[in-house]
């Protein structure tokens, strides 16, 4: 099995006659590949990676800045909102006080008017009652005199009057 063919031995790997050829082409290949990789490919990829890292870093910084700005804007907004709310409260309070004052004045006026009117009414009621009382006593006198005359009794006007008024006072 082991007889060498014209070219070498049974295993092509052990065929020494091709070694010089393989080694020569291997060295050429490695030199070319090393040249391509170290001069072109690797610097290019390294620069791309560095660019990306730089971009990412600056983007993160920019994002941080924007975040800061947003936070500031939010603070300003909150402050403005609080101010506006305070201002609105103040205005409402003032309006309410003004209205209350106005209301009080009006109420006082109305009360005064009402009490004046009530006093007037009371006075008139009293007048009416007084006059009514006078008329009652007068009518009673007249009726009493009439009744007495109907009974043919002589009626003294002064006695009748005093008796009626005494009666009215007692009855009242």
Binding site residues, another protein, CB under 8 A? 1-15, 17-30, 32-34, 36-38, 40-42, 44-49, 51-52, 55
Backbone angles phi, psi at 6, to 5 degrees: -60, -25
What does the DSSP 8-state code read for residue 152? T
Interacting residues of 70 by C-beta distance below 8 A, sequence separation 6+ = none
CB of 23 to another protein, least distance (A): 5
Two structure tokens written together for 66: 């924007």
Q: Which is nearer to another protein, 8 or 144 (CB)?
A: 8
Instruction: Tell me how far apart the alpha carbons of residues 137 and 135 are, in angstroms, rounded to a whole number.
Output: 5
Instruction: Tell me how far apart the alpha carbons of residues 125 and 146 are, in angstroms, rounded to a whole number.
Output: 31
Q: Which is nearer to another protein, 38 or 68 (CB)?
A: 38
Q: Which is nearer to another protein, 1 or 153 (CB)?
A: 1
Q: Which is nearer to another protein, 6 or 150 (CB)?
A: 6
Backbone angles phi, psi at 153, to 5 degrees: -95, 135
């Amino acid at each position: 099995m082991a007889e060498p063919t014209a070219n070498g031995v049974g295993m092509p790997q052990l065929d020494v006659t091709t070694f010089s050829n393989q080694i020569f082409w291997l060295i050429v290949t490695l030199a070319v590949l090393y040249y391509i990789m170290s001069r072109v490919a690797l610097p290019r990829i390294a620069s791309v990676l560095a660019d990306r890292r730089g971009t990412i870093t600056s983007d993160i910084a920019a994002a941080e800045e924007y975040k800061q700005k947003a936070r500031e804007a939010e603070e300003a907004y909150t402050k403005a909102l609080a101010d506006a709310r305070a201002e609105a409260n103040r205005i409402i309070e003032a309006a309410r006080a003004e209205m209350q004052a106005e209301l009080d004045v009006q109420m006082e006026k109305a009360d005064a008017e009402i009490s004046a009117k009530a006093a007037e009414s009371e006075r008139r009621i009293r007048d009416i009652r007084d006059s009514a009382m006078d008329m009652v006593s007068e009518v009673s006198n007249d009726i009493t005199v009439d009744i007495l005359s109907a009974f043919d009794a002589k009626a003294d006007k002064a006695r009748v009057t005093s008796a009626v008024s005494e009666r009215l006072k007692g009855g009242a």
